[in-house]
Amino acid sequence: MTAPAALLRTAAELEAFGPAPSAAGTGAARADRAVVMTMGALHEGHASLIRTARALVKDAGQVVVTVFVNPLQFGEAADLERYPRTLDADLAVAGEAGADAVFAPSADEVYPGGEPQVRISAGPMGERLEGASRPGHFDGMLTVVAKLFHLTRPDVAFFGQKDAQQLALIRRMVRDLNFPVEIVGVETAREADGLALSSRNRFLDPHERRTALALSRALFAARDRLAAQQALHARARATGATQDRAAGLNRLGEARLAADAQAVARALPDDGPAAVRAAARAVLEEASAASPPLDLDYVALVDPADFTEIPDDRTAGDAVLAVAARVGATRLIDNIPLTFGAPT
Q: Are 161 and 45 in contact (CB under 8 A)?
A: no
Which residue in the list 43, 46, 137, 233 is annotated as catalytic?
46
φ/ψ (deg, to 5) at 153:
50, 60
C-alpha to C-alpha distance for 82 and 69, rounded to whole angstroms: 11
pLDDT at 270: 47
Please confirm, yes or no, whether 233 is among the known catalytic residues. Answer: no
**Number of Cβ within a 10 Å radius of residue 204:** 20
- Helix, strand, or coil here: 265? helix
Does residue 212 carry a pLDDT above 70? yes
122-173 confidence digits (pLDDT tens)? 999 999 999 999 999 999 999 999 999 999 999 999 999 999 999 999 999 9
Question: What average pLDDT does range 237-253 have in this prediction?
Answer: 57
Mean pLDDT across the chain, nearest whole number? 88
The one-letter amino acid code at 6 reads A
Longest dimension (CA), the chain: 83
Question: What average pLDDT does range 190-219 have in this prediction?
Answer: 96
Give the up-direction half-sphere exposure of residue 249: CA atoms within 13 A in the CB hemisphere: 16
Instruction: For residue 320, list its beta bridge partners.
Output: 302, 337
pLDDT band at 248 (very low <50, low <70, confident <90, very high): low
pLDDT at 267: 54
Question: What average pLDDT does range 12-18 have in this prediction?
Answer: 91
**Number of Cβ within a 10 Å radius of residue 140:** 21
What is the residue-wise DSSP string for 151-206? Answer: HH--SEEEEEGGGHHHHHHHHHHHHHTT-S-EEEEEPPPB-TTSPBP-GGGGG--H
pLDDT band at 344 (very low <50, low <70, confident <90, very high): very low
- CB-based burial label for 88 (10 Å; 0-12, 13-18, 19+): exposed
pLDDT at 278: 96
* Gyration radius of the chain over CA positions: 23
Q: Which stretch of 30-39, 145-154, 326-335 has the lowest confidence by average pLDDT?
A: 30-39
- Reported pTM: 0.86
The one-letter amino acid code at 221 reads A
Question: What average pLDDT does range 12-31 have in this prediction?
Answer: 65
- Helix, strand, or coil here: 322? strand
Query: From residue 294, how far is each of 30, 118, 164 by CA, in Å?
Result: 44, 38, 21
Question: What average pLDDT does range 307-334 have in this prediction?
Answer: 95
User: What are the start-end ranges of the E strands in 180-258?
Assistant: 182-186
Does residue 206 carry a pLDDT above 50? yes
| In the chain, % of residues over pLDDT 90 | 74
Contacts of 117 (CB under 8 A, 6+ apart): none
More confident residue, 78 or 46: 46
Instruction: For residue 42, list its beta bridge partners.
Output: none
**Number of Cβ within a 10 Å radius of residue 34:** 33
Question: What average pLDDT does range 282-305 have in this prediction?
Answer: 97
Identify which of 109, 28, 104 has the alpha carbon closest to the alpha carbon of residue 62: 28
Beta-strand relationship, 101-103 and 317-327: unpaired
Question: What average pLDDT does range 100-108 have in this prediction?
Answer: 97
Would you give the end-to-end CA distance of the chain in angstroms?
44
pLDDT band at 241 (very low <50, low <70, confident <90, very high): low
